[in-house]
């Protein structure tokens, strides 16, 4: 007798072959004994292509699709409804299909909260966010739950920092003032693509960083960016991008595969090995 149809889900991006999401979700599904497949979907960087791909995924019975660069705004446009988180962030990384269409959500916020909370004692009032793109919005929206009253945003394009700051109740500063702003911050987060393999390094001096400050970098390839290496050398606490990547996957897996997964050390070790192989 045939069993139930396997659960289908995936991640849409362009490019998408670098995505670790299939490894995360398929590992969780196998561990829980849930029959299902989470697949990468290479979708050209245009809204029409994205909408066609999502229509096809719905027709094929996908429960949902994670969305990565460059489709996070397309996902919001495609959705029939969106969570308050996705609306506030202006971007969605998760589409859940239902009979009415698709519901857009943003789990980057929960991902960042989960990653920072792995540092057992998060304290302080001020966070410095470097960057003002989609990820910076998610990180800024995590402020309340993490207890940061003041957020300062530095971005290369000042107008984007101003726009984010105005919309989300933060303060904007010039990119060139980031080293000075760091002195007053309890949490410093790189949300730019600087420091990523193939990108220029992030130029940031940690000389003035507070002794108890947490340095977070949401870039995860390489896993230990030059910023995190410098912070560790100085004895500062660090949060890496892999922690956020794992935590942001939890809501999607729970929603589509129907079980709460464990963001544990075993999964982290598996993903770290995959990143090492890729970096060779």
Examine residue 196 and tell whether it contacts ligand NAP (CB under 6 A). Answer: yes
Closest CA to 105 of 251, 260, 263: 251
Among positions 64-123, residues that touch ligand NAP (CB under 6 A) are: 69, 108, 111
Q: Is the Cβ–Cβ distance between 53 and 12 less than 8 Å?
A: yes
- Taking residues 12 to 51 in sequence order and writing x for each that binds ligand NAP by CB under 6 A, - otherwise, the string is ----------------------------------------
Q: In angstroms, give the least distance from the CB of 49 to ligand NAP.
A: 19
Quick check: helix, strand or coil at residue 69?
A: coil
Q: In angstroms, give the least distance from the CB of 2 to ligand NAP.
A: 37
Quick check: helix, strand or coil at residue 126?
A: strand
Residues near ligand NAP (CB under 6 A), total? 26
Which stretch in 28-36, 140-148, 180-188, 192-200 sits in contact with ligand NAP by CB under 6 A? 192-200
Number of Cα atoms under 13 Å in the Cβ half of residue 107: 23
Examine residue 241 and tell whether it contacts ligand NAP (CB under 6 A). Answer: yes
Q: Cβ contacts of residue 174 below 8 Å, gap of 6+?
A: 154, 158
Q: In angstroms, give the least distance from the CB of 199 to ligand NAP.
A: 7
Q: Which of residues 135, 187, 216, 267 is near ligand NAP by CB under 6 A? A: 135
Which stretch in 23-31, 50-58, 80-88, 133-141 sits in contact with ligand NAP by CB under 6 A? 133-141
Q: In angstroms, give the least distance from the CB of 68 to ligand NAP.
A: 8
Examine residue 157 and tell whether it contacts ligand NAP (CB under 6 A). Answer: yes
Residue 186 phi/psi, 5-degree rounding, is: -90, -25
Give the Cα separation of 77 and 84 in Å (integer).
Answer: 14
Examine residue 219 and tell whether it contacts ligand NAP (CB under 6 A). Answer: yes
Find how far residue 171's CA is from the centre of its chain: 22
Which stretch in 18-26, 52-60, 212-220, 256-264 sits in contact with ligand NAP by CB under 6 A? 212-220
Tell me how crowded residue 108 is: count the other CB atoms within 10 A of its CB: 29
Tell me how crowded residue 6 is: count the other CB atoms within 10 A of its CB: 11
Q: Which of residues 45, 147, 200, 258 is near ligand NAP by CB under 6 A? A: 200
What does DSSP assign to residue 205? -
Q: Cβ contacts of residue 33 below 8 Å, gap of 6+?
A: none
Q: Which of residues 62, 220, 253, 257 is near ligand NAP by CB under 6 A? A: 220
Give the Cα separation of 138 and 58 in Å (integer).
Answer: 27
Q: In angstroms, give the least distance from the CB of 38 to ligand NAP.
A: 16
Residue 192 phi/psi, 5-degree rounding, is: -85, 175
**Residue 276 designated active-site:** no
From the list 72, 77, 229, 276, the catalytic residue is: 72
Q: Is the Cβ–Cβ distance between 205 and 232 less than 8 Å?
A: no
Query: Interface with ligand NAP by CB under 6 A: which residues?
Result: 69, 108, 111, 131-136, 155-157, 160, 191-194, 196, 200, 218-220, 241, 244-245, 248
Which residues are part of the catalytic machinery? 72
């Amino acid at each position: 007798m045939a069993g139930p149809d396997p659960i289908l889900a995936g991640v849409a991006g362009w490019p998408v072959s670098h995505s670790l999401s299939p490894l995360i979700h398929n590992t969780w599904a196998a561990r829980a004994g849930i029959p299902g497949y989470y697949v990468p979907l290479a979708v050209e960087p245009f809204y029409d292509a994205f909408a066609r791909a999502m229509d096809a995924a719905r027709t094929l019975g996908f429960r949902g699709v994670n969305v990565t660069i460059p489709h996070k705004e397309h996902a919001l446009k495609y959705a029939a409804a969106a969570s308050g988180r996705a609306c506030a962030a202006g971007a969605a990384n998760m589409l859940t299909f239902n009979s009415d269409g698709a519901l857009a959500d943003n789990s980057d916020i929960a991902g960042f909260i989960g990653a920072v909370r792995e540092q057992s004692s998060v304290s302080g009032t001020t966070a410095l966010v470097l960057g003002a793109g989609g990820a910076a919005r998610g990180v800024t929206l995590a402020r309340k739950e993490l207890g940061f009253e003041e957020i300062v945003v530095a971005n290369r394009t000042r107008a984007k920092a101003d726009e984010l700051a105005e919309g989300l109740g933060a303060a904007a500063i010039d990119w060139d003032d980031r080293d000075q702003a760091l002195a007053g911050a309890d949490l410093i987060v790189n949300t730019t693509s600087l420091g990523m393999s193939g990108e220029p390094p992030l130029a940031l001096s940690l000389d003035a960083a507070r002794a108890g400050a947490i340095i977070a970098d949401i870039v995860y390839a390489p896993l230990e960016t030059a910023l995190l290496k410098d912070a560790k050398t100085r004895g500062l606490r660090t949060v890496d991008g892999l922690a956020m990547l794992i935590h942001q996957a939890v809501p999607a897996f729970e929603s589509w595969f129907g079980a709460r997964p464990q963001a544990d050390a075993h999964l982290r070790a598996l993903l770290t090995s995959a990143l090492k192989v890729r970096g060779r």
